[in-house]
Structure 1
């Protein structure tokens, strides 16, 4: 039987081309039917045309089609990938970040956590729920892989509304371990047995061992990581280089030092001054930098590398505006190995998936979606229980109420619950201004938040 794979949001060249390249390099998925879907017919047609030409040039065993009709696209689907945004991404992101700051709420980055993460969630979760409603009606047994952010709030809400769906969140931040640890430990990545976990963009390395000797590697990481990260170039260095030389630097798949030609950073602990505090005070290595990790911690504003965060935002915005995506026969993301593992009953351990907590992290309730490793076989994705240290578990537990209220606010279309979600968020220390700020955000982000009453 032919495997049918549906890409929702395929009009985005960044997602569409990259995912197609991942699929096309797979021998297990050879012969699959790939359906591209997007609400933008012009961008969708371009992705389809590029994919057809690539298949013909490489003589690849895949069939491709495209449609703006989502229900038609979903018929008979085995695997579905979702990567969407709502409206003008950066204009709305600017509001998410800057309006709370104007009201005195000191948040970091404003994409996934804090007030910015809440308003981002309120915009993007409703259309994802609409997609899932169609999936539940048309292909309820399909496996759904979500790449949209804010990941953990999306996954938590989807599982509350559609607990029967096979909905899995995917994020590439775990790949940072593959980039940095071999250099820190002077050993191939294949020689390391690692486990990390937490919430998406709020996860730490929990265990590390050398495969050849079986010895603990975490002592070496704690000893050697500070000197390594203190000098590692960050996005302030990368942005300066880009502006000086007039060319973009590819930062995925290599360390920043490789991308910069081997130089040290001009700024100590670039992108990682909060990261440094977590490593020193909690003794665990975050798997992401300040811009993501800092969104969930109130005191992060005092210690984060704000220059690095602002320069990353400027670089990222410019990068997406100028980069020319292309299809490559190269595995970049981890969703294809998961699909292969389900089809072949591989039984392999996947490093990070976002799924409902079923005792995997004892400090968190079952309803919240956690990021944990998992075993992949023909029955699906099976999370692995982790031993979370008390300190990190405490940081994670601060997110429980705001995730709960985010889901309830969306499902009940309730402005009152949005206000409550902000008031229980540990990042926020304001009260009287919150109703006014919520009203302003609803007005400024119309029509996406008009459903809140």
Structure 2
């Protein structure tokens, strides 16, 4: 039985012509069976006639077959060459360009990385994995997949992870660039040697030598040569990194964040061809009739060119004849490049002979090159994860990690753009369904996102006011699911710090419609004053319901005698403020030192640098607030009432902090102004500090002595300060 070589995607007839003629020009392969497969009958017909004319022109004994059945094409094949383009120019590529452009995201090629590469991979990976699965099931036992389809690294990574058959990704950038560099340096190519490694389209010439000598100085000399303007992006990257990259400037410009998004001047300076791939596709489509006639041979017969530098035919020949050759292949990183992730698809030198593809160990890339590769691998890995798991969130993650996209769009626009792209692909049947996410987030429903959330909220004012030994509360259940659910819950009241209760739990069943929130008032017997602390424990026997407790901490009691009651506020675990409260001559003497290195005034007290004071005579008495607003430089402080008007008769003082950044405020408030009786022996108070910047390295925030964001509205959370009359 003759050697069977299958070409899937044979409708890419120009590329197919080169591959077929390359293979058949090896005498040892000239009697092979070439099986052509495509989903387009018209294109497949052209490809078959073209292949038969190549056979005739070369005078070889090869057999050509054609089929629309992919599995039959793979059956018994020893080599499967993949050149598919899923989605074609229209609608696939057009969608990839038009929707991002609406968001201001420009692309050049969009087939390897970036948002265009991500979505090309999402629609291609299911197809190429089905091809790989066919190979595993009906291909020859030692069948080798030769993949030419972009995005190369994503497709090959997916095959490696999902199916694991022998495969190699093939590109012509190493061959083409090595010859291009020899020409630019004025060197005969036959005397040039090189070593390349990295990832597809971002591999680097680690060595570029002429007769054993480092020839890089010839390339760097071109940077200062008057009138030299070839490959501006790639030479600029060489200038900055020290090494020349394999793929063209139009590709490279969208793999890094240094060119496209910096505007028209930079784009023109580096000759970045925006929408280049669209123009190329349209040109090919526009000349298809002429190309078709040439491929079919016309009256003068088909022209067969000498073998190209594409690796495919050389791999097949080396494997069949045990002729050793070195090619550059895209393969899983199995101890090949030490400072790139294991399993990532890397491009390295490979020995090919009868033993197959044998990648060689490169070692460690220069760290700047590894960093550039890693920025692309992040996108590749997340895209493959999305394709293999069906998790929609990883589509967003892949695009947000793309170096080019991240320089152009904020996160909300990235999410919206991805949603539009997913919807557009699904409308034309290029993408299936993905697992839903919590709206506008990168978190899947599967897990926390699709669980019901049950919360218990105590009405502390009503509980304190009624004084009937009953807790008045509300259970709130949120159902994010697309269907109605009945939540089974148990509620019990326990002492603060304990999970034990002497009373049986209150059992609840709450029906919650799809996508709705239900609030249910409840009461529980409880004889302990809130000031002693308690915990409302909400639980469910179902793991599908996330339940939350409500805690009332025991009231803190401070003594204001002697030096006064001392207190400290912390923000995210760091000291943010400290102070004292004294009582003297029926007045409150309050001092606070706030560590705020960026005093920022604001019309809204809680948005700028502010100290907020709240006083009450008891749990049931009104609360009197005071808002202290420092000015930049700690030169002035204003005290406002709840009506945001200056308090008459109060004269707060402010000084720069004695301990470094920040400020210190002192204020004396008469009992009557604070709503405290002249005969009182204690008072309730809370203090908030709104910090813009904590110290020299931390962001700001809002913190309180009571420990609750809303404690200023609830005296149950206030601290009691006791003092002698």
User: TM-score scaled to structure 1, two decimals?
Assistant: 0.84
Do the aligned partners of residues 414 and 218 (structure 1) sit closer, same or farther apart at CA in structure 2, a change above 3 Å counting?
A: same
Counterpart of 2:397 in structure 1 is 420
Q: 1:97 to 1:307 in 2, by over 3 A?
A: farther
CA contact (8 A) 1:169 1:353 kept: yes
Corresponding residue of 1:242: none
> Cα gap change, 1:69/1:319 in structure 2, threshold over 3 Å: closer, same or farther?
same
Structure 2: runs of 5+ lacking an equivalent: 296-302, 436-725
When residues 58 and 27 of structure 1 are mapped into structure 2, their CA distance, relative to the original with a 3 A threshold, is: closer
SS of structure 2 residue aligned to 1:76? coil
1:297 is matched with 256
Q: Which residue of 1 aligns with 2:367?
A: 390
CA displacement at 1:426 relative to structure 2: 3.1
Distance change (3 Å), C-alpha of 1:319 and 1:18: farther
Q: Which residue of 1 aligns with 2:234?
A: 275
Q: CA deviation at 1:144?
A: 0.8
Q: Which residue of 2 aligns with 1:161?
A: 162
- Secondary structure of the 2:396 match is helix
Are the counterparts in 1 of residues 110 and 277 from structure 2 also a CA contact under 8 Å?
no
User: What does 1:12-411 correspond to in 2, within 5 Å?
Assistant: 12-105=12-105, 108-139=108-139, 140-163=141-164, 165-211=165-211, 214-224=212-222, 227=225, 231=228, 268-269=229-230, 272-301=231-260, 302=262, 303-304=266-267, 307-310=271-274, 312-313=276-277, 315-321=279-285, 322=287, 324=291, 326=295, 328-332=304-308, 333-350=310-327, 352-386=328-362, 387-411=364-388
Closer/same/farther in 2, CA of residues 338 and 227 from structure 1, 3 Å limit: farther
Cα pair distance change 1:154/1:5, threshold 3 Å: same
What is the CA-CA distance between 1:186 and the residue it aligns to?
A: 3.0
Q: Distance in 1 between matches of 2:381 and 2:416?
A: 22
What's 2:624 paired with? none
Q: Is 1:448 the counterpart of 2:457 in the alignment?
A: no
Q: Shift of the alpha carbon at 1:225?
A: 6.3
| 2:113–2:402 CA contact under 8 A, matched in 1 | no
Q: Is the 8 A contact 1:274 1:304 kept in 2?
A: no
Q: Secondary structure at the match of 1:432?
A: helix
Task: From the two aligned structures, give the one with the greater helix fraction.
Answer: 1
Give, in angstroms, the shift of residue 66 of structure 1.
1.0
TM-score between the two structures when normalised by the length of structure 2: 0.54
Structure 2 distance, partners of 1:59, 1:226, is 52
**Aligned mates of 2:159, 2:198 — CA distance in 1:** 19
Give the superposition deviation at 1:2. 2.0
CA distance in 1, matches of 2:351, 2:267: 35
Native 8 Å contact 1:152 1:370 kept in 2: yes
Aligned pair count reads 410
RMSD: 2.3
Q: Is the partner of 1:286 in helix, strand or coil?
A: coil
Q: Check whether the contact 2:108–2:275 (CA below 8 A) recurs between aligned residues.
A: no
**Higher RCO, 1 vs 2 (CA within 8 Å, ≥6 residues apart):** 1
Q: Aligned equivalents of 2:335 and 2:225: distance in 1? A: 36
Secondary structure, counterpart of 2:80 in structure 1: strand
Pair 1:67–1:209, CA change in 2 (3 A): same
Q: What are the superposed Cα offsets for residues 365-420 of structure 1, whole Å, 9 maximum, x if unpaired?
A: 12210111111111111112224211111111112322221111011112122122
Q: How far does residue 304 in structure 1 lie from its aligned partner after superposition?
A: 5.0
CA deviations over 1:409-452 (Å, ceiling 9, x no partner): 01111212212222333333321233322221122122112332
Q: CA deviation at 1:210?
A: 2.5
Secondary structure at 2:81 match in 1: strand
Superposed CA deviations along residues 24-68 of structure 1, whole A, max 9, x for unmatched, are: 211221211111111122221221122223323442121111111
SS at match of 1:296: coil
Contact 1:107 1:427 in 2 (8 A): no
Per-residue deviation, residues 207-236 of structure 1 (Å, max 9, x unmatched): 02223xx222223333246649x64xxxxx
Work out the CA distance in 1 between the residues paired with 2:148 and 2:71. Answer: 20
Query: In structure 1, what is the Cα distance between the partners aligned to 2:42 and 2:221?
Result: 53
Q: 1:437 aligns with which of 386, 392, 417?
A: 417
The offset of 1:107, in angstroms, is: 5.0
Q: Is the 8 A contact 1:202 1:292 kept in 2?
A: no
Q: 1:400 to 1:310 in 2, by over 3 A?
A: closer
CA contact (8 A) 1:173 1:288 kept: yes
Give the C-alpha shift of residue 87 in structure 1.
Answer: 2.3
Determine which structure has more spread, i.e. the larger CA radius of gyration.
Answer: 2
The secondary structure found in structure 1 opposite 2:213 is coil
